[in-house]
Amino acid sequence: MKWRHSLQTKITFIFLTAIIAVFLIGIGTYIKSSRESAFESYHLAVSLAVSEDSRDETSGGFHVEKFVDEGFSPVEDERQRADILKIYDRLLAKKKSGGEGQKYYKNSAENGMGKIFIGEDGVDFGVIYADNVVYLVLSQTGNERIIFQVQKMKKNYTLMLVFGTIIFLLCLLYIAIIRSIRPLRMLREKIKDFAKGNDEIEIKMHGGDEIAKVINEFNAAVKKIRAFRQARQLFLRNIMHEFKTPIMQGKLSLEMLEPSAYKNSLEKVFVRQENLLNRFISIEKLGAGELNLDIHTYNLRDIIDCSLDIIGERSANINVKIEDKKVKADFDMLATAIKNLLDNALLYSADKKASIKANGDAITISNIGKPLEFSLEEYKKPFFMQGAKQKESRGLGFGLFISLNIFDLHGMTTQYIYDNGKSIFVLRF
């Protein structure tokens, strides 16, 4: 499973995007709130400085007590005072030279901005914004300058708490969702084990969410299938025993008879019954997906020769042309599958003859006869009967089904061609 297809990756991306968005909105809101606070402090300082109540008519300066009463704090730190006065002097010089009187300045301590006001009486004052603090500089008579800290930018803890809580809740929700889908990984592994044939698995999950319900339903389904398989295996074991016992008894009884045509006929009957029983077992295993292959490297000629040996005397009617090569296969299974096709080719041939050729990566089995009535996919279904009468399809119904599925298990492709009265099966590795 690629990471980009992972459900956890998608959920993580969504929550990460949401957390970043909330964080950025919080930062923007906080900055906006800080600017609004500074703006209010700026106007408060200007309003108080230009107020007549703040002026001392006797000295022409300001009533310092008035500013203290309004909550302004005198700045006593010399270094801080020096930094503020540097900004103030530059603004004052700019104002007197006809400039705008408001500009950013940079010195060794901080960035600062502000505005200078000069009254008709020549008394000036300035509002300086530096280092997130609004300062008021008052010029008294005798070139005395008093610096007040109007309002230090207060951190909006309520705003920070709100956005911090939202981010925290998003993180908790993310953790809860990831924990709730984590069992899906375990479920996937259990399903893979179950697909490999291991039905001795058990998985349970407590809880009432949809994932827990799916897991518990899967566990219940596995139990039912396991019970069904056990019942099926018991049934097959018993029925195979009941069928094979009389066959074995019959074979043993035949050994006590003198050689005769009657004995040969009985032997063929028992051999046919045993072959039919083995076919039924193969069909049942194929239908249940339990037919396992024992793959090794063999000579293709040896596999085909084994098929011909199983056919017996009738193989004299088969034209064989083989270019030997190495193939990876289950020897017995592939030999049986080829034997079934050859059996069908002889059985349904108009002249009771067939041919098999092996060259390159292809095996071709052909005969002269009628074409198949249905597509090969239909014959891959167990117990499929090709015509209206079972007698006409008894060999093709079972043998072709087994052969086609064995070829599929080997990764071989099967092609059927009907050309000029010939039925041709082409098998490719």
Q: Quick check: 289 and 282 in contact, CB under 8 A?
A: no
Q: Looking at the structure, tell me whether residues 197 and 102 fall in a common domain.
A: no
Of 240, 273, 291, at which residue does a domain stop? 291
**Do 130 and 15 lie in a common domain?**
yes
Q: Same domain, yes or no, for 309 and 423?
A: yes
Q: How far apart are the first and last CA of the chain?
A: 30
Say if residues 201 and 194 touch (Cβ distance below 8 Å). yes
C-alpha span between 273 and 269 (Å, rounded): 6
pLDDT at 396: 43
Question: Do the domain assignments include residue 56?
Answer: yes
Rounded to two decimals, the pTM is 0.48
Residue 307 sits in the same domain as residue 234: no
- CA distance linking residue 350 with residue 353, whole number of Å: 8
DSSP characters over 306-372: HHHHHHGGGGGGEEEEE---EEEE-HHHHHHHHHHHHHHHHHT-TTS-EEEEEETTEEEEEEESPPP
- Give the integer Cα–Cα distance in Å for 419 and 364: 13
Q: Which residues, in sequence order, are CB contacts of 412 under 8 Å at separation 6+? A: 427, 428, 429
Residue 16 host element (H or E) = helix 7-50
Residues 107 and 23 in one domain: yes
Residue at 68 is within a domain: yes
Is the residue at 169 inside a domain? no
Could you count the other beta carbons within 10 Å of the beta carbon of residue 89? Answer: 15
CB 90 within 8 A of CB 99: no
Q: Is residue 4 part of a domain?
A: no
- Total tally of structural domains belonging to the chain: 3
Give the Cα separation of 127 and 149 in Å (integer).
10
pLDDT value of residue 106? 37
Give the CATH number, domain containing residue 305.
3.30.565.10
DSSP conformation letters of 206-260? -SSSHHHHHHHHHHHHHHHHHHHHHHHHHHHHHHHHHHHHHHHHHHHHHTTSPS-
Kindly state whether residue 359 falls inside one of the protein's structural domains. yes
Asked whether residue 163 is assigned to any structural domain, the reply reads no
**Of 167, 173, 171, 221, which is closest to residue 199 (Cα–Cα)?**
221
Tokens found for residue 392: 């006409």
23 and 147 inside one domain: yes
Are both 39 and 115 inside the same structural domain? yes
The residue among 291, 316, 333 that closes a domain is 291
Range of the structural domain that residue 274 is part of: 185-291
Residues 90 and 224 in one domain: no
Please count the other Cβ atoms lying within 10 Å of the Cβ belonging to residue 304.
22
Final residue of a structural domain among 291, 315, 334: 291
Is residue 276 domain-shared with residue 215, that is, in the same domain? Answer: yes
Q: Same domain for 205 and 237?
A: yes
Using a CB cutoff of 8 Å and minimum separation of 24, what contacts does 116-122 make? 116/88, 116/91, 116/92, 117/46, 117/49, 117/50, 121/60
In what helix (H) or strand (E) does residue 81 lie, and over which residues does it extend? Answer: helix 78-96
Predicted confidence pLDDT, tens digits, the chain (429 residues): 455 567 788 888 899 999 999 988 888 887 777 767 767 777 777 777 777 777 766 666 777 788 887 778 888 888 888 888 888 888 777 777 765 544 433 333 344 566 666 655 555 777 877 767 788 888 766 567 888 888 655 566 777 888 889 999 999 999 888 888 878 888 888 888 877 777 777 777 777 777 788 888 888 888 888 887 778 777 777 877 777 888 888 888 888 888 888 888 888 778 777 776 776 776 667 666 666 778 899 999 999 998 888 888 888 999 999 988 899 998 888 988 899 899 889 988 999 899 999 988 899 999 999 998 888 888 777 555 544 344 444 444 567 877 888 898 888 999 999 998 999 999 998
In-domain check, residue 171: no
Q: What is the pLDDT of residue 136?
A: 84
| 53's tokens | 């109540």
Contacts of 8 (CB under 8 A, 6+ apart): 178, 181
Is residue 348 assigned to a domain?
yes
Q: What is the phi/psi pair of residue 205, to 5°?
A: -145, 130
* Same domain, residue pair 276 and 365: no
* 311 and 287, same domain (yes or no): no
